[in-house]
Structure 1
């Protein structure tokens, strides 16, 4: 067989594989329109009867009934001139643009403090800003959540009355007279921040603290403390020393820079540019910088009286620190939000490009969209299922967390009833953040690859999403560290119900059965982790953890996958039964589950959760579901509700993408006679 014959047969097979997809789409057959050999599975034309209605239901499923209230203001920002895509800017210009956009954003708020106090609004902000400007998203998240939010959560020890502490004047931070930043991580201490070495020594004579960096490893690592963006203040994590006693790590409000640069005793040095974002990450150190007693951020974790007497409602120093940096949890939620927003943007671009990019068909001069090939659409179909699953999981986790947020008084009064639920909610936040951002990396990379070389170009935005997701993976707790902590907590304190081992008569078309299999994977891995740890040598805590760590980490991943599948099912069940949108969500859920079950099918067979026939059927069923999802790829991505203005700024997303590279002096703009003259 010649190479030409092999290529022709491969093209014929690939095109034949797309035949009949019009019958697979979820709109009624009488209204769906598609031509298998000339139209991509993802480009069937949505009709007035089906398309808009399905799209509307999917938008509500993704964003909620009040999506215009919660998401509308942030979405609207993307349509305004200051937030339109700018290509070809030098790094310094990109940084100036990010801080300029921060001020524009701030000017649209009715209250910066209200935003800082609302974890849902903060997450929504990250969700919509992340595809636009990674640097803006970073500095906005730091200012509103880590800085302003932390100040709102804590009291001032200065000028207290007999009943408690008074609030600081935050007006200068609310109007961005001063930009806020957060200085916790040090070169030698990141996830083990309770061991950081920056000190705050109480000076009784001056009734304040002296901030000092004792050695190179204690320099604050990566805060945005340069003069870019205007004068800055920071919340600084430092070890509180009172009369020689180390009382643990606390937070201190500290002015860092003025209009002319760093303030006396503050040293700021720019770090080398990191991949992706152009944020002004720096090394920052302190040489006995004095801050008044009121700079200590107080609360149940600790207070310093006017006479210099320290008191705390929390005995454990680690617990004091974790209480101080409670805003990191809201930050994890925001990182998950940034990831789901970036994933949806990448998929919207990749699906549109796959529908517009034409390649040679089986017979000349036929041209077909590249999306007509299973090799192209199947990965994107799986990515679409993942995008819906991670978005709906994020919504579930955000709702769960906010339901467990209480005032300090409520938490004290209900401690016995609420403590366990709150710990579980925090663990779910961590598990979701790690899983969502890791999955986002894979989806965004797939979308970039599906757009070929054009996906590498800056003007198409996908390259920035590829590098930007790396920041989310590391920010607010490195994924592996928070994933491992959550996994260890699950091994010791999480006992999910074990699904039945009775696969007779069960089918892969049953979404309940598929979710039971995901639950079975979680149970099996927890069993393995506990068995491994039980067999480890006694007295060796690290060896005991290492013996069960691999399985425990897989259990945490399986837990995230199960909760994501449940979130998709809940969203589908909330729609009118039997509606096209509900059926489409169920299809996404089944595809999502099957792609996670397939690699674990051997374990499931060995433990009696599936039969051999199930394993044999997985590949064909996965292909069938991928084809159905690809057949609705257009409406699925339209439901992401990205503004037309944003999409218009991404050349590769448009049918006329080649015009972005047109040359007005090119010979094709002149007739042959003009070219000869």
Structure 2
């Protein structure tokens, strides 16, 4: 494979994206310096977590102010990307701090200013004298986002609220709250009870651990066992009669009148739930962006491991490792996935939450009557972004795992970097909205025609289409999505007509539902690639072809089953992939160099004396 790292300036611009200034890039690099990419050996889990929080404090003090970052998705994503490739645990606590604690304060807390507000808590978070933690998911029941059992009961005598977890199953988990000496400020999602009635899910800001790390009165924290996955200070938190002032309620325009009347401008409890979950798009943009970043880093590591390495196989002793098609295809496939996810990340950072086309459309302002959901609230907030988050995390997890395997034993034992990236990608299959539930709700909307129009279906060209053309990729993806969606709608409709209730009608079709929603996500990704095609430089076009041919191989079962790909076409797919790979192989180093990975990422194994 090529080893002359001279990236095309157009490739650099593509990876960097058009929206980030050079000044901001430099500021992000200063906030997460090279030393953050190195991890001392011999630390206990608590010592490692303490180091992570020290680095978070340093990064936060060097980065732009939180309000500026949250208003500038490319800048926030750039900071989180660099944190993720340095240390996935640093990314995770940084994401929580900015998007899930400061985000709700800035979005929902403006109405609190008149009564003292949460200015002190916000100042503590912005000065990094306290760190944000999220208390949302509950331990004992699935789908707990839809109806948290943690209660915030209004106390008319004081005007404040009493937060209570009625039993251990209502404890909030997972939370990043276990370290006994790290101050924490939490965004608590609780069901507001006022006047004897449930008023919906709201966010409350709570000083969970004080400056010395001691839990507040009414807060019980149970540390989780140490983990080798995404290494954060996990704990379960149970609230036992925790009293908070009125100002802790991020009321977002809602109010309780002097006569005890309740007013919420967004409508009822269902609309309030969607509105309160409306902080999710910032999370999804970040997760998509970081999925691209760790995939780029993993592809760079695999290339560095493979380039110049020879094998002693008896077929051809001392033959370069990348002369073997399996290794070459792994390198090129990881590069293709990295550039594809980079294109998707660029789309969501630049376009906000709207994906356009035939994708399930987001509702109006969250809380103003968005699409209905059955399994989780996320699709009611923004179906496009939620679905792309699911697609991006799966692509990242599979690609990072592939890179780990193709780096052999050194990829597993000589460095923990690929293991850490794999742990991050794997965690976010569930974190930030469970992928399976996102797929189910997307499929439900597709089958019901709930703010969804099937994509147009074009007839297959006589003799087979040009498999190297974006137009043919889209034709296949759209046809597959439309046909699977129609079959799903027919099956669910027939089940309901036969007298089955909603649960049984859907329970027998969940496999088809997940595959149908995945087909929708595939089409959205391929539309993104078609959208950048005209401006894409070579060898990027060849790399996108390599990705699309790999997609045809992976989805061959559905494509053949739906009659979208003609029987016998896989031989042509494999042959074309080999031809495109021959073109790409000499330029692999150039493609990877455009990732601008820090030297610490791709440095060769160096712990052996004399190396």
Match of 1:661 in 2: 608
Q: How far does residue 570 in structure 1 lie from its aligned partner after superposition? A: 2.5
Q: How far does residue 274 in structure 1 lie from its aligned partner after superposition? A: 3.1
In structure 2, do the counterparts of structure 1 residues 451 and 590 end up closer, same or farther at CA, with 3 Å as the change threshold?
same
String of CA shifts for 1:152-192, please: whole Å, max 9, x gaps. 0113665638xxx9673422221012222111111124533
Match of 1:110 in 2: 64
Between 1:477-486 and 1:303-312, the stretch displaced more is: 303-312
Match of 1:176 in 2: 128
Q: How far does residue 284 in structure 1 lie from its aligned partner after superposition? A: 0.9
In structure 2, do the counterparts of structure 1 residues 260 and 441 end up closer, same or farther at CA, with 3 Å as the change threshold?
closer
| Residue 514 (structure 1) aligned with residue 466 (structure 2) | no
Q: How far does residue 208 in structure 1 lie from its aligned partner after superposition? A: 0.8
In structure 2, do the counterparts of structure 1 residues 464 and 105 end up closer, same or farther at CA, with 3 Å as the change threshold?
same
Q: How far does residue 141 in structure 1 lie from its aligned partner after superposition? A: 0.8
Q: CA RMSD in A?
A: 3.1
| Residue 529 (structure 1) aligned with residue 485 (structure 2) | no
**Secondary structure at 1:632 match in 2:** helix
**CA–CA separation in structure 2 for the residues paired with 1:511 and 1:260:** 55
Of 406, 413, 426, which aligns to 2:382? 426
**8 Å contact from structure 1 (residues 393, 567) kept in 2:** yes
**CA–CA separation in structure 1 for the residues paired with 2:579 and 2:12:** 25
1:204-243 paired onto structure 2 within 5 Å: 204-228=156-180, 230-243=182-195
Of 272, 276, 298, which aligns to 2:225? 272
String of CA shifts for 1:281-332, please: whole Å, max 9, x gaps. 11111221111111111125x3224554321123331221221121122112
Q: How far does residue 642 in structure 1 lie from its aligned partner after superposition? A: 1.0
String of CA shifts for 1:84-143, please: whole Å, max 9, x gaps. 343443322211110010011012123133223433333222222112112111111111
| Residue 323 (structure 1) aligned with residue 275 (structure 2) | yes
| Residue 375 (structure 1) aligned with residue 331 (structure 2) | no
**CA–CA separation in structure 1 for the residues paired with 2:280 and 2:369:** 24
TM normalised by structure 1 equals: 0.80
In structure 2, do the counterparts of structure 1 residues 340 and 362 end up closer, same or farther at CA, with 3 Å as the change threshold?
same
1:133-152 paired onto structure 2 within 5 Å: 133-152=87-106
| Residue 98 (structure 1) aligned with residue 52 (structure 2) | yes
Match of 1:496 in 2: 454
In structure 2, do the counterparts of structure 1 residues 110 and 228 end up closer, same or farther at CA, with 3 Å as the change threshold?
farther
**Secondary structure at 1:634 match in 2:** helix
| Residue 542 (structure 1) aligned with residue 500 (structure 2) | no
| Residue 294 (structure 1) aligned with residue 235 (structure 2) | no
Q: How far does residue 531 in structure 1 lie from its aligned partner after superposition? A: 1.8
Match of 1:34 in 2: none
Match of 1:250 in 2: 202
Match of 1:551 in 2: 512
In structure 2, do the counterparts of structure 1 residues 433 and 159 end up closer, same or farther at CA, with 3 Å as the change threshold?
closer
In structure 2, do the counterparts of structure 1 residues 459 and 85 end up closer, same or farther at CA, with 3 Å as the change threshold?
same
Match of 2:406 in 1: 450
| Residue 393 (structure 1) aligned with residue 348 (structure 2) | no
1:572-651 paired onto structure 2 within 5 Å: 572-575=533-536, 582-601=537-556, 604=559, 609-612=564-567, 614-644=569-599, 646-647=600-601
Q: Which runs of 5+ in 1 are unaligned?
A: 1-41, 405-410, 576-581, 665-677
Q: How far does residue 358 in structure 1 lie from its aligned partner after superposition? A: 2.1
**8 Å contact from structure 2 (residues 171, 238) kept in 1:** yes
Q: Which runs of 5+ in 2 are unaligned?
A: 356-363, 373-377
In structure 2, do the counterparts of structure 1 residues 614 and 393 end up closer, same or farther at CA, with 3 Å as the change threshold?
same
Of 346, 356, 379, which aligns to 2:308? 356
String of CA shifts for 1:490-540, please: whole Å, max 9, x gaps. 222322333322321532233321221122221121122112112213351
**CA–CA separation in structure 2 for the residues paired with 1:460 and 1:124:** 23
Larger-gyration structure (1/2): 1
Query: What number of residue pairs does the alignment pair up?
Result: 591
Q: How far does residue 264 in structure 1 lie from its aligned partner after superposition? A: 1.4
**CA–CA separation in structure 2 for the residues paired with 1:585 and 1:193:** 41
In structure 2, do the counterparts of structure 1 residues 377 and 219 end up closer, same or farther at CA, with 3 Å as the change threshold?
same
Between 1:110-119 and 1:616-625, the stretch displaced more is: 110-119
**CA–CA separation in structure 2 for the residues paired with 1:497 and 1:243:** 48
Between 1:187-196 and 1:604-613, the stretch displaced more is: 604-613
String of CA shifts for 1:464-496, please: whole Å, max 9, x gaps. 112222222221111111222122222223223
Match of 1:482 in 2: 438
**CA–CA separation in structure 2 for the residues paired with 1:452 and 1:351:** 13
Q: How far does residue 603 in structure 1 lie from its aligned partner after superposition? A: 5.7
| Residue 438 (structure 1) aligned with residue 391 (structure 2) | no
String of CA shifts for 1:594-644, please: whole Å, max 9, x gaps. 222235556656766454564441221122223333332211111111123
Match of 1:471 in 2: 427
TM normalised by structure 2 equals: 0.89
Between 1:377-386 and 1:542-551, the stretch displaced more is: 542-551
**Secondary structure at 2:241 match in 1:** strand
Match of 1:63 in 2: 16
Between 1:220-229 and 1:97-106, the stretch displaced more is: 220-229
Match of 1:672 in 2: none
**CA–CA separation in structure 2 for the residues paired with 1:607 and 1:112:** 48
**8 Å contact from structure 1 (residues 251, 296) kept in 2:** yes
Of 319, 333, 341, which aligns to 2:285? 333
